[in-house]
Structure 1
């Protein structure tokens, strides 16, 4: 039987913080790996730059050519990948913890399809790229409200939310297919690339809205981490410990939907990162609970690595990052379902 090592820090006001050294180590290690992969990605390309020169340029000591390539062309894409991966990792961890199901993620529950529907409405009406991003956010949030309303029955419970989310996702998939047929040829081609999930051509205008959303949502979510851990023991136990279960659940669900929606607005509906990152983080930390920070770091590392591979797997041809995450995540999902079946849980 594995032993989970904990450290409790006493704070002023009678509060305490539980520290798990292994979880902290995993989170820090994945975060450093994500940054290292980001440096390698910035230095890769038709104009290669060594990691030392990349770091020197980021510190403001590079040549004019290096400064333009690093700071203007490649850094925005890598920063967007880091932010999108972290947002999806945290969103997936929240969904999986709240519904108490390893399949809980915005891909499965319909929120990604809702963001796609909002973006496709903008494409059909001939909107700009900024309007497309706003449409994705609006679609994701509207889907979140719809699923919550349909799943509400004196509270929102895990399996009901999952089943309704899967049903809404199926409906929205059909709606999205119809919207594609109504778009002009060039707009449809742009929409298909966006629906695949791509970081190609991403600039600071794609990264800043997501960064602003995370600056608001992440501290809020981490502040509710203690309540989330109590809710994993069951609603009755959490209520007995003083947690306002429905209010906390609503805030955390809304936070997860916001993160997934803004991530989709920045890079399109990148698949399976929200599903796999929390699972991998939990297996590495071997700790109970949502593992919010390790999930964020793992998601960031996964997406940067997938984007680097998407650019380098085939010489002279770049794949959308969603293709790589879809192939890897689909294989992981099959393995996860087989494992759950052998364990008798499905």
Structure 2
């Protein structure tokens, strides 16, 4: 048991620690490859000198201005999505629970599209994304009829909100000029191609706010996962805990969507992989965050380097692989009789 002060006690499993260490090592390897590979190749052994004593040359500029921010954003966005997905799945008790499914990403995309149509050049893209994500989760909240107290209804309402948001986005893309629609489509695909240090700041603040809050909520969510009756007998405020967890998950996902667009399926897959690796139903926040970061960094590395994907937004790769995973997950849940 790992304790943080008198109120937070988290179960620590040997498998969780082992896999977290492995994920961290793989993430470091992927990070080195990301910084080293590209049109301007930089030897791994030359990275420290270029990073900490940057010369006034191409290598220092490339690392500190282009690859460095992109790598940090990929790590931060992946971690935020992993945390968000873990919280959503803990609240809904459903492996399909994620910000993708409940329409948060689609809502952010619709917000950007509407702002581009009604107020072109007035509101920055991140502001439109945040407004759209907030409106989407608000619609989900009121559509359930019971707020966030009915986990199954959250997913059903989210699917409906997501469909409406996609319809709005497609309408805007169809009426915009070709160049404007192309720029909008690039964001909607989920991309970190043009991020800078401001995006690093946004995602860092997002993680600083959400990660501690998620750790505080984790013990109560683990007890709720054992059943509402047992959690109630232990004095857990079930509705308040679920609502707080949803709020934290929404903030984490909204921060990620704000800087990178709606990147699909990272939030869905990372917590599920973490649960299968640890073989424990307990909430694996740290491992989910590491796996989310690892998935996105590897996907972005492929998007930059693979001949078949060079220059593609990273969200297209995650959507392609994640769609296959979602299909397999649906088949598995159908065979178990939970769908």
> What TM-score do the two structures reach when normalised by structure 2?
0.94
Residue 78 of structure 2 is aligned to residue 85 of structure 1: yes
Residue 30 of structure 2 is aligned to residue 37 of structure 1: yes
Q: CA deviation at 1:181?
A: 2.3
Partner of residue 121 from structure 1, selected from 95, 110, 114: 114
Q: Secondary structure of 1:19's match? A: coil
Q: CA deviation at 1:155?
A: 5.7
Segments of structure 2 that go 5 or more residues without pairing to the other structure are none
Deviations along 1:154-209, whole A, 9 cap, x unmatched? 86222111111111111111111112223232221111011111111111122211
Q: CA deviation at 1:125?
A: 3.1
Partner of residue 216 from structure 1, selected from 209, 219, 242: 209
Q: Secondary structure of 2:72's match? A: helix
Deviations along 1:84-106, whole A, 9 cap, x unmatched? 11111111111111101111111
Cα distance in 1, alignment partners of residues 142 and 177 from structure 2: 34
Q: CA deviation at 1:57?
A: 2.3
State the partner residue of 2:100.
107
Residue 244 of structure 2 is aligned to residue 251 of structure 1: yes
Cα distance in 2, alignment partners of residues 154 and 125 from structure 1: 31
Residue 286 of structure 2 is aligned to residue 293 of structure 1: yes
CA contact (8 A) 2:108 2:130 kept: yes
Q: CA deviation at 1:15?
A: 7.2
CA contact (8 A) 1:28 1:297 kept: no
Q: Secondary structure of 2:100's match? A: helix
Q: CA deviation at 1:328?
A: 0.7
State the partner residue of 2:161.
168
Q: Could you say if the C-alpha distance between residues 10 and 107 of structure 1 is closer, same or farther in structure 2, counting changes exceeding 3 Å?
A: closer
Partner of residue 301 from structure 2, selected from 280, 285, 308: 308
> After the TM superposition, which residues 1-346 of structure 1 pair with which residues of structure 2 at under 5 Å, given as runs?
8=1, 16-60=9-53, 64-128=57-121, 131-153=124-146, 156-314=149-307, 317-346=310-339
Deviations along 1:268-319, whole A, 9 cap, x unmatched? 1111111111111111111112211110000000000000011112179421
> What TM-score do the two structures reach when normalised by structure 1?
0.92
CA RMSD of the aligned region, Å?
2.1
Cα distance in 1, alignment partners of residues 63 and 168 from structure 2: 40
CA contact (8 A) 2:302 2:309 kept: no
Cα distance in 2, alignment partners of residues 157 and 132 from structure 1: 33
Q: Secondary structure of 1:82's match? A: helix
Cα distance in 1, alignment partners of residues 290 and 260 from structure 2: 18
Q: CA deviation at 1:25?
A: 2.0
Segments of structure 1 that go 5 or more residues without pairing to the other structure are 1-7
